[in-house]
Amino acid sequence: MEHKRSAEIFEEAVKYIPGGVNSPVRAFKSVGINPIFIDHAHGSHIWDVDGNEYIDFICSWGPLILGHSNEQITAGIADMVAKGTSYGVPTAIEVEMAKLIVDAYKGIDKVRMVNSGTEATMSALRVARGYTGRNKILKFEGCYHGHSDALLVKSGSGTITYGVPTSPGVPADVVKHTLVTPYNNIEALEAIFNEQGDDIAAVIVEPIGGNMGLVPAERDFLEALRKITQEHGTVLIFDEVITGFRIAYGSSREYFDIEPDMVCFGKIIGGGLPVGAYAGKAEIMDMVSPVGPVYQAGTLSGNPLAMYIGKKQLEYLRDHQEVYKELEEKANYLAQGIRTHLQDLGLNYHVAQAGSLVCLFFTDKEVRNYEDAMTCDTEKFNHYFQALLEQGVLVGPAQYEAMFLSTAHTKEDLDKALVAIGNALRIAHN
C-alpha cells in the first residue's frame, strides 16, 4: 500500500502544527508510523489521500453510530448553512435538542450545551463543586475525562493517591483536590470515602471505561458507588462521552439501571460535529448562570449546524431502537471471530465487548482496571496495527482504544476484517 501523498502532507503538517496533528493520538506515533491523511468516508469505509480504502473501526472515536456521511442525517445541512452558521442568540433547535436528551435520559431535568467532552466534564465538576460547596473530586485510574487541568491526573501504581499532574503546565496546586482510586475496586472506594467522603464534591466515572481499552464497570462496583455517594451527599457524574446514546438509547443509565446525579455527553450527540453537554437534576442544574451563581458560557454552544446533525441522529436512534440489538450482534460476531483466531493460534489474549464496542487486549490477564490493562504487549499490538492497516482495516492506533462499530458495518465488512485480523495476529507473533 502506497502512502506517498500522506507522507508529503505530513512533512508539511509538522512545520505548522505540533506533531502535525490537532489531537495527539492521530499522529500514529505510538504505533511507530506516520499518520494517513483522510480524503473522504462513506458508510463503514474511509479513503486516504492516496486512494487507499479501509474498513473503519474508529468512526471518529464514537459519534458515527450510523456510519460516515449518512444521507438521512446530513440531508438538509446545506439549507441550514445557507440560513447562517451561528447567531449568538438562541434558536428553537437548541430547545428541541435539550428536550430530546432530557426525554431520553431518565432522571435528568435540564441540560446545557457546550462544544466538547472536555468542556462538559470541566463544567459539570464546577457545578457539582458549587452545589456542594466542597472542593475535592474523585476520579478513577485509567478513566479519561478530557484535558482540563483538574482531570489530567494519573495515580500511583494501583494505590490510592493524591493527584500528581500528568502534564507539565498543570500546577500541583490545581490538582491537589483531585483524588484517584482504582476502577472496579469497592474496598479502595470505601477506604477513600471513609477517610474523606464528606469533603468530596463529585465522583466522575466512565460507566464503561473506554480509554484504557474497553473495561466495563462491574455492576456491584457501580451500585456501591451510587450508594456511597448518596450517603455522603456527593454528586455522582457519569461521563457518557463514549457510551451516551451508543450503549443504549437511554445510555449507561438504561444499560446498568443506575441513576447518576449528573451526566456528561460529547461527540455522539453532535453526530460528528463539535458538541458536548452536561445535564442533571433541576436542583443541581439551576446552580448554573444565569439562574444560579456558577458561571459557564460559550459563544458557539448550541451551534445550529451541530444541533441540526446531532438532533437528526438522536431522532433516528430514538425511532429505531432496534439498532442497539443489531450493533451488539455485530460486535459479538466480531469478538467471537477474534476469539476463534486467538484459540487457533494458541494465544490467550483477553477480548472485551460491550454493546457496539470491542477491544482485543494483548494480555493473558482479564482486564478489570488500569493496572491489568498495563500488562499488554504494546509492541506486538503495534505490529498487529500496521499489518491491519496494510490489509485495509483501520483501528485506533493505540492498544488502549476500543473498536467502534456502526450500523453501516456489513457482515461482509466483518468477515473481511476478521480475515485481516487473523493474518495480522500471525504476523505480529512471527
* Rounded CA separation 267/105 (Å): 17
Q: How far is the CB of 2 from ligand PLP (least distance, A)?
A: 31
* 370 flagged as catalytic: no
- Which of 54, 105, 131, 144 is flagged as catalytic? 144
- Residues in the chain, total: 430
Q: Are 383 and 430 in contact (CB under 8 A)?
A: no
The CA-based angle 304-97-92, given to 5 degrees, is 55
Nearer to ligand PLP, 118 or 369 (CB): 118
- Which of 139, 267, 330, 380 is flagged as catalytic? 267
- How many Å is the maximal CA-CA distance in the chain? 63
* 267 flagged as catalytic: yes
Nearer to ligand PLP, 250 or 396 (CB): 396
Q: How far is the CB of 180 from ligand PLP (least distance, A)?
A: 16
* 144 flagged as catalytic: yes
* Rounded CA separation 4/6 (Å): 6
Q: How far is the CB of 167 from ligand PLP (least distance, A)?
A: 15
* Rounded CA separation 175/247 (Å): 31
Cα end-to-end span (Å), the chain = 21
Which CA distances in Å does 185 have to 182, 218, 221? 6, 9, 7
Burial category of 278 from C-beta neighbours within 10 Å (exposed 0-12, middle 13-18, buried 19 and up) = buried
Q: How far is the CB of 365 from ligand PLP (least distance, A)?
A: 23
In this structure, what C-alpha cell is assigned to residue 161? 493517591
In this structure, what C-alpha cell is assigned to residue 258? 443506575
Question: DSSP string covering 48-108, please?
Answer: ETT--EEEES-GGGTT-TT-BT-HHHHTTHHHHHHH-S--SS--HHHHHHHHHHHHHSTT-
- Give the footprint of ligand PLP on this chain (CB under 6 A): 61, 116-118, 121, 144-146, 206, 210-211, 239, 241-242, 266-267, 276
For cell 462538559, the residue is 120
- Which of 48, 56, 110, 239 is flagged as catalytic? 239
The CA-based angle 368-370-372, given to 5 degrees, is 60
Nearer to ligand PLP, 199 or 254 (CB): 254
Residue nearest to ligand PLP (CB): 117
Nearer to ligand PLP, 239 or 328 (CB): 239
Nearer to ligand PLP, 163 or 197 (CB): 163
Nearer to ligand PLP, 214 or 418 (CB): 214
SS3 229: helix
Residues identified as active-site? 144, 239, 267
